[in-house]
Amino acid sequence: MANEEDDPVVQEIDVYLAKSLAEKLYLFQYPVRPASMTYDDIPHLSARIKPRQQKVELEMAIDTLNPNYCRSKGEQIALNVDGACADETSTYSSKLMDKQTFCSSQTTSNTSRYAAALYRQGELHLTPLHGILQLRPSFSYLDKADAKHREREAANEAGDSSQDEAEEDVKQITVRFSRPESEQARQRRVQSYEFLQKRQAEEPWVQLHYCGLRDSRSEHERQYLLCQGSSGVENTELVKSPSEYLMMLMPPSQEEEKDKPVAPSNILSMAQLRTLPLADQIKILMKNVKVMPFANLMSLLGPSVDSVAVLRGIQKVAMLVQGNWVVKSDILYPKDSSSPHSGVPAEVLCRGRDFVMWKFTQSRWVVRKEVATVTKLCAEDVKDLLEHMAIVRINKGWEFILPHDREFIKKHPDVVQRQHMLWTGIQAKLEKVYNLVKEAIPKKLDEQPGPAVLVSGEQRVQVAKSKAQQNHAFLERELQRRKEQIQASTVMGGVRIKEEPVSEEGEDEDEQEAEEEEPMDTMPSSGLSNRLANGLPTGRAAGGDSFNGHPPPGCSSTSVARELGAFVKATFQRQFVLTLSELKRLFNLHLASLPPGHTLFSGISDRMLQDTVLAAGCKQILVPFPPQTAASPDEQKVFALWESGDMSDQHRQVLLEIFSKNYRVRRNLIQSRLTQECGEDLSKQEVDKVLKDCCVSYGGMWYLKGTVQS
């Protein structure tokens, strides 16, 4: 109160808001000049503007008669810029630097809180500013001087060479055609600094007419700075409360609020994070941390969060590696992104990072050179992938960044089993993409490699002999049992349909010899069930044949067979031809999508899976692979849906008979055989459909799906 009495109100001034020039008024800020000199005293020769960029250039005359002006320096600059000969294109026609160019730049993009005020007859008139431009000297004439200098040097060199050579030699010109530009390359080019500079330079200049301070046009335009209707409708916006009036004069900056990050990429606000849904919280945390034990994740989310819900959410955004959770590759590299180092697409980066994660499920250590050799990524990309989940050790390689979390693995075996199924599918995909030698993933992810032990060659031989002796009796019993099964195998249509048994690699040769000893039975049979017609042996028709030979506790073999049969039928309705290797991969993915405790988790052997395939109306196609093939035994077992109930069944059966005698076939042979068997009215669309269902094209030849070896 004392301050208010010491500073009484002397005068009240009415404030008016003028809008006539609200969208046209700019404030120009010139460089500092002596107080005795005003810009109105300096003649403005020309002015021009680029409206879209709001860029202005002004040319002002320089007072060459001023005693502070260095005439010799002005003549030297004009000579360097224009040369000795002056013409219409010369920058300085008087052969003297008698003018200077000023170029504008924006000081701020938000001018809503700035206004130009004009005080007249006890009234204050405000006009909002549309822009504020700072004018700085432009030294583009120096670039012209450098260009002239280079032209003179080039002309002198050309003159010397013309004196030495009487005639100009004929030079060979190589014509090159540019490659078609991809969409990603075009987007990178459009966003580049060079392209933006070129677009700005291409915008044409619009010439302006400068009016001085005392010019009649300036006087006329200056009247628009006054509110035209002091008591009219135009000032109704100012008839407001004091707080509203101040809010209109100083509105909050929308740009600052917009630019304020909600959650920075390197700093997470836990208060803001906990306002999000649980799934988003887990995704943001894993995307920033990349590798985290489950206990740390629970401590960050808070004690009130349900651990079961967190387990369900973490499996959607991360994979289990050595008991710790590592964020999935597609979370870090979205679909339309690319590498900042090499520009490779996100799909290649995800595949390479999956390979690194998979290697860490095998061992604590990974060698950078091996990753680069397999993934074919540049050194910077490989380093980024490794730094996400490992630390480098000198003379050792890259070690996984966190210790093995055995406590989590022991506490959550169902999650570990599901993650193992997922890694099995990823391994099969990586082996196919990178042509890797097959390696066995540990059956349990908690198997951490122990310390390296040196074993001599003699010790290895002794160990191998002891194992062979232990397995000899088992192999003999297994061979005898399979001989009995072969003798009881089904005969259909005068030809024996032989089921190729599932065996270990060490038993293949013995079983083939046993099968060759059996004569082919051509006696017809009758009264056989549908299961026998599909080649299912009678000895196994009633048995569940569970994993490891033990029926799963708590579930019947009937429910397991029913669930497995439904999966097989649904799979072959979508894909008519599958190798055993691909079928096992799809089955593992199917298991990973099932809830814990499902009946199929009881364990399904390869033999039971093949029996179910044959019982579902499929047949095994004995494709004659070449002797030097690199395909594994599971990849050489090809199964196809024989009858699906549609119009293309006959076409597919003819096609499958062709591939039972040929590993690869040309299209014209397939076309002629289909025409011969199914009639000449077979259309191209029908042939394309059956080829699309069962085959793939590679190198001009057609192969059954899954059998092509690149």
* 3-state secondary structure at position 502: coil
Least confident range from 288-292, 429-433, 616-620, 672-676: namely 672-676
172/518: higher pLDDT: 172
Supply φ then ψ for residue 128, to 5 degrees: -60, 145
Mean pLDDT of the chain, nearest integer:
75
Average pLDDT of span 654-668:
88
| Arithmetic mean of pLDDT, 85-94 | 72
User: 0.75 exceeded by the pTM?
Assistant: no
What is residue 24's predicted lDDT score, i.e. its pLDDT? 82
What does the pLDDT average to over 624-650?
85
* Per-residue pLDDT at 521: 37
Q: What pLDDT score was predicted for residue 516?
A: 39
- The greatest distance separating any two alpha carbons of the chain, rounded to the nearest whole angstrom, comes to 126
Percent helix / strand / coil, the chain, rounded to 5 = 45, 15, 40
pLDDT at 619 exceeding the cut of 50: yes
- What is the model's pLDDT at position 458? 62
pLDDT at 550 over 50: no
Name the one residue in this structure whose structure tokens are 């009495």.
5
pLDDT higher at 420 or 43 = 420
Strand-pair partners of 61: 99
Residues 51-61: b if buried by 16+ CB within 10 A, e if exposed: eeeebbbbbbe
* pLDDT of the residue at 319: 94
Percent of the chain with pLDDT over 70: 73
Assign 253 a pLDDT band (cuts: 50, 70, 90).
Answer: low
Counting residues of the chain whose pLDDT is more than 90, the rounded percentage is 11
Higher pLDDT, 266 or 486: 486
Does residue 531 carry a pLDDT above 60? no
pLDDT of residue 553: 47
Tokens of 100: 């200077």
Q: Average pLDDT for residues 427-438, to the nearest whole number?
A: 82
Name the residue type at position 480.
Q
Range from 38-42, 107-111, 124-128, 271-275 carrying the lowest mean pLDDT? 38-42
* pLDDT at residue 33 greater than cutoff 70: no
Residue 39 confidence (pLDDT): 56
Tokens linked to 47: 């002015």
Residues 101-120 have a mean pLDDT of 81
Which residue would you say has higher pLDDT here, 205 or 447? 205
